[in-house]
Structure 1
Amino acid sequence: MSPSDTLAAASAAGTTPGATTVPRIVSVDDHVVEPPDLWSSRLPSRYRDIGPRIEYHPQGEVTLDGGTYRERPGTEGRNVAWWMYEDHTYSVKRLIAAAGYRPEEITTDGITYDEMRPGCWQPQARIADMEMNHTDASLCFPNYPRFCGQLFAERNDKELSLLCVQAYNDWMVDEWCGDSGGRLIPLCLVPLWDAEMAAAEVRRNAERGVRAVAFSELPTWLGLPSIHSGHWDPFFAACAETGTVVCMHIGSGTRTVSPAPDAPDAVTASLIFCNSAASLIDFLFSGVLHRWPDLKLMYAEAQIGWIPYALERADDVWETHQGWSEARRNTPEPPSHYYYRQVYGCFFKDSVGIDLLDRVGVDNITFETDYPHADGTWPDTEAVATRLFGHLDPEAVYKIARGNAIKLLGLDFDQ
């Protein structure tokens, strides 16, 4: 696309004349707060008392263990919304429904659904909030099941777990995205405990137009087989065959990197990109991208400034240490070859990555708003995007704001 064509597309996409060169955003990382009846209205009656359901109880003590909250309801005080599922209890928190609140108000305290913006969990209200935020379309990761549905893999009754995964996907396709006119983009889950069942769920959803699936950036951190083992080959084959993008959200390995057990949470929050760096390098040397050249990976909320050095180091190991490191066992081309061909990063707070754009790859990055999380840029995403990359040439601006996401997910926009 030429710069003049790009400017015309940007204008058609809703750019405000004279105000900015950034077209309306296609965000590939937002979140949904699951509605209270998502599972209780879909599960068989025999499971409704043990499957995921909302109950109201007092706030309890909350601790964060890696990427997992450890908590139980309290015995006194005001009632807040709690998800109850087998032996698991989880309060709905201000931290994950932060849109519209000041930073000092965003805590891990529990809330009710009446205390969050309706756009957190109601599709039409979400679209209204997207209109306020210069956003055309949005791909949403889950909250309660965690970023790739780890919760269901951890529970005891796997028949119920499978029904929960399928119920989530049916809700995602039919209700969350169904009447949005393509503005809410479906992202589905798979049963992580069985690769063949995961492949079947990918194909089931692909048949109804789903082009994105959530997966763990580091499955071994969940106690699952590695991507080197061959265990996941049926899943990767299904994704490649159906054009389903493997979307890995930061923290989807549940664990986080910390140099000391008594380090403040700020340390792990600053180091969280290390999870995605480890995952990317794992994939680059695994042979997965070589065996399935049509497979596409997307790293959500990982930012992008770390990518050039990770690629440089991986390529150097591939060349310099080929004699002992098994660098070429599954990777006949330099690792960076597979990155530029098949991998997409995602950012919204990374000026360093933009400074290194020629090495990150203008065709390899997408943008996000992270609504309604505390890190999110709502309702100021247009200003944030303009500040970060509005100075680039029009074609690059278009690709980052929406063009790469449209191509990656096969969206029916700007055609």
Structure 2
Amino acid sequence: MDTHESTFPLIISVDDHTVEPATVWQDRLPEKYRGAGPRIVRAPVKEMTFLGGRFKPVMGAPGDDGPVGDWWVYEDLRRPLTRLDTAVGYDRDEIRLEVITYEQMRPGSYDVPARLADMDVNHVQSAVCFPTFPRFCGQTFTEAKDHELGLLCVRAYNDWMVEEWCGPEAQGRLIPLTLIPLWDPELAAAEVRRNAARGVRAVAFSEIPPYLGLPSIHTDDWDPFLAACDETGTVVAMHIGSSSRMPSTSADAPPAVGSTITFANCCFSMVDWLMSGKFEQFPNLKVMYAEGQIGWIPYILERADVVWEENRGWGGVADKVHRPPSELFAEHVYGCFFDDAFGLRNLDAIGLDNVLYETDYPHSDSTWPKSREVGEAQMGHLDPEVVERIVRRNAIELLGLTDDGLWDGPR
């Protein structure tokens, strides 16, 4: 760890990211599927836009003019690695939407020893990492035509996550987050249990499943999956963008619009969950919102309580939501932030036990390598025991880590 004198606790980040090494699926898929499974191809970009919350890259043919990058190829999908996937180490004004190769990214994005070294620089002890190529909850495999192959890809990713990314080389400092086959809740439940049996305590899910063409949580469709999470103590982790539709206002709105309102889907999603009855149906269920920030939460809880109190009769929730939404939030929901001074000034209205810290390495929003300094500046008004709970203790308790803040590996 770094030797900077500081009383600021070592950070447990509940939202970082991994850029999967090029061989994750080629090393793990059955031989007959490797030609169809995800693989890296180096090729030029023909055109690439990111407007209205939609990312649209077009891969050029070998020999075409244009910047060359590494592309994931899988069925009809052509998805390039971009500077936005791994922007740390670059000046903010130099970060552009451009294709890159593995050689052009910081090695900590995909290499375990290099990641641990970058965590040391940033005063980070442990970290949960969301995917890149599968997207934040495995949408890539859900949208694929061949779901038999898709299931193998989900399992291959999870095996890599548990056995390699979070394997012995990680020294317990990388905390596994696994995927499910979103297209089949029964298979999803089986995958939750398979991974829980080897010590995994978090699974990625979509903030708004209907945006992916999937059932809403107001149906009973997800009950097998939710029951498995409830029984195994597996936290449902939802990252902004896990519905494949970033908030925006129009098809031509610049990315800055969506970047300002990235919390919006988390807000909508949280109201969905609070009004769904699922927290009463599954009393051990916990959900967390990665990169959603926390400053918006107090008003939404106030409004949800008013609606529940005054309008639950005609609002369609009287028969399934029997307690104020704010009480359900306190027992089941966690907000995650990396830069939210307003939220920190309103902790009493959110709940000290419901807040988690993150660094978002290696994305452009990341506070790396100054996450400690950002935290010190924003939490300087708080008592040390409060800071300890936000930066470490809540994550330790939620994710079942050791008292020292480490994942104790497959059990």
Q: TM-score range by the shorter chain?
A: over 0.9
1:228 aligns with 2:218: yes
- Per-residue deviation, residues 118-169 of structure 1 (Å, max 9, x unmatched): 1000011100110000000000000111100001000000011000000000
Give identity over the alignment, percent.
Answer: 56
1:385 aligns with 2:375: yes
- Secondary structure, counterpart of 2:13 in structure 1: strand
1:304 aligns with 2:294: yes
1:37 aligns with 2:23: yes
CA–CA separation in structure 1 for the residues paired with 2:22 and 2:97:
19
For 2:57, the equivalent position in structure 1 comes to 71
1:23 pairs, out of 9, 15, 25, with 9
CA–CA separation in structure 2 for the residues paired with 1:205 and 1:405:
19
TM-fit CA distance, 1:65: 5.7
For 1:61, the equivalent position in structure 2 comes to 47
- What are the residue-to-residue correspondences of 1:138-157 with 2, within 5 Å? 138-157=127-146
* Letter matched to residue 44 of structure 1: P
Alpha-carbon contact 1:236-1:295 (below 8 Å) kept:
yes
- RMSD (Å) for aligned C-alpha atoms: 1.5
For 1:97, the equivalent position in structure 2 comes to 86
CA–CA separation in structure 2 for the residues paired with 1:261 and 1:78:
26
CA–CA separation in structure 1 for the residues paired with 2:251 and 2:69:
30
For 1:250, the equivalent position in structure 2 comes to 240
Alignment size in residue pairs: 401
Alpha-carbon contact 2:335-2:355 (below 8 Å) kept:
yes
Q: TM-score, with normalisation over the residues of structure 1?
A: 0.94
TM-fit CA distance, 1:328: 1.9
Alpha-carbon contact 1:240-1:295 (below 8 Å) kept:
yes
1:83 aligns with 2:72: yes
For 1:332, the equivalent position in structure 2 comes to 322
CA, structure 1 residues 15+101, in 2 after alignment: closer, same or farther (shift >3 Å)? closer
Is there any run of 5+ residues in structure 2 with no aligned partner, and where?
A: 406-411
CA–CA separation in structure 2 for the residues paired with 1:34 and 1:194:
24
- Secondary structure, counterpart of 2:181 in structure 1: coil
- Per-residue deviation, residues 373-396 of structure 1 (Å, max 9, x unmatched): 000011101101101113201111
CA–CA separation in structure 1 for the residues paired with 2:212 and 2:336:
23
* Letter matched to residue 376 of structure 1: S
CA–CA separation in structure 2 for the residues paired with 1:56 and 1:333:
55
* Letter matched to residue 322 of structure 1: R
Alpha-carbon contact 1:66-1:255 (below 8 Å) kept:
no
- After superposing the two structures, state which structure 1 stretch, 250-259 or 53-62, moved more: 250-259
Alpha-carbon contact 2:51-2:253 (below 8 Å) kept:
no
TM-fit CA distance, 1:15: 9.4
* Letter matched to residue 58 of structure 1: P
1:363 pairs, out of 344, 353, 357, with 353
CA–CA separation in structure 2 for the residues paired with 1:83 and 1:169:
18
- Secondary structure, counterpart of 2:394 in structure 1: helix
Alpha-carbon contact 2:16-2:358 (below 8 Å) kept:
yes
For 1:182, the equivalent position in structure 2 comes to 172
- Per-residue deviation, residues 45-98 of structure 1 (Å, max 9, x unmatched): 222122100010012211236555222212224531010000000110011111
CA–CA separation in structure 1 for the residues paired with 2:379 and 2:372:
11
CA–CA separation in structure 2 for the residues paired with 1:151 and 1:108:
20
1:348 aligns with 2:338: yes
TM-fit CA distance, 1:362: 0.7
For 2:390, the equivalent position in structure 1 comes to 400
CA–CA separation in structure 1 for the residues paired with 2:324 and 2:135:
34
1:116 pairs, out of 105, 111, 115, with 105
CA–CA separation in structure 1 for the residues paired with 2:148 and 2:336:
34
- Per-residue deviation, residues 284-321 of structure 1 (Å, max 9, x unmatched): 01011111111110110000000000000000000111
